Amino acid sequence: MTATPPTPDSETGSLAPSRPASGKVWLITGASSGFGRALAEAALAAGDTVVATARRPEAVHDLVVAHPDRVAAVQLDVTDHARLADVVAEVVLWYGRIDVLVNNAGHGQVGAVEETTERELREIMDLHFFGPAALVRAVLPHMRAQKSGAIVQMSSFGGQVAYPGFSAYCASKFALEGLSESLRQEVEPHGVKVMIVEPGAFRTSFSGAGLHQSAAMDAYAETVGPIREFITGIDGTQPGDPAKAAAAIIAALESDRTPLRLALGNDAFDGLVEHLDAVREELLAWESVARDVNFPDEGNTDDGNTDEGK
């Protein structure tokens, strides 16, 4: 990927974009399939410009052919941190801005904690957390300067709810959501939106080619075994439609009250409500213990044990 050298703007002296941009400029990771592909298609249908990144950019060649003036296919592996800042810089040189960053690249991971190797755990954390965090840091100076922008973090309802066998996957999404919740409060005064998307089961490659599985141990056959069978068994029959998800994400971004978290799918919505109810129930059940660990209030010496004044 080579950017055309920019030319100075005649009025301001700043560097002028080297390519025209129609509508908003989207930078989407993992744009070759699933939610990334659906969002790219939805943005293009809206008349916007898309920088579609993928490990194999030839996978989005058809989008480039269909929209040669509004799609740039870029090779990017989000675990290649040295490459991330370069891609952001080149996109800004091309179009002068980045309006929407979508951190979408990722894959599923099944395995009990004991089954998951150190390498597998670090790889998924790099893919779902450290890579997206680095991209956020790279785009924020530009979004702050333009006083606008949106960051879409593709999480999962597994970013709040953990199930046996999804320990590494959920840990990576929990981390992403924690960072994003703080991030929203930090950048909102600069005109930048942050939205966490929490889909349930959608018809993507998550349960098929995109699913990584740790080597199984007999000890976890009863707890993780059914999860392995379930997640692989639903491939191709998931109820969620990625195109409808993309439309919902765009509508939420355009809303005056863009949510911090956007659950998508009946399973995600119901699962999150059930989880939050259980968390609240347990919290209240242990309220007295929670409140009984502080030092006594200052000045309250009515315990009969003081020797002061004697």
Active site residue 33: no
* Catalytic position from the list 24, 32, 169, 193: 169
Active site residue 169: yes
* Catalytic position from the list 155, 167, 172, 180: 155
SS3 297: coil
CA distances from 306 to 294, 301, 302, 303, 309 (A): 19, 7, 8, 7, 9
* Catalytic position from the list 172, 173, 207, 220: 173
Active site residue 163: no
Closest CA to 20 of 31, 4, 36, 32: 4
**Strands 261-264, 211-213: parallel, antiparallel or unpaired by DSSP?**
unpaired
DSSP state at residue 130: I
Please tell me the distance from the alpha carbon of residue 290 to that of residue 70, in angstroms, as a whole number: 56
For residue 228, the cross-strand partners are none
Work out the number of other CB atoms within 10 angstroms of the CB of residue 28. 28
SS3 labels along 151-187: EEEECCHHHCCCCCCEHHHHHHHHHHHHHHHHHHHHH
Enzyme catalytic residues? 155, 169, 173
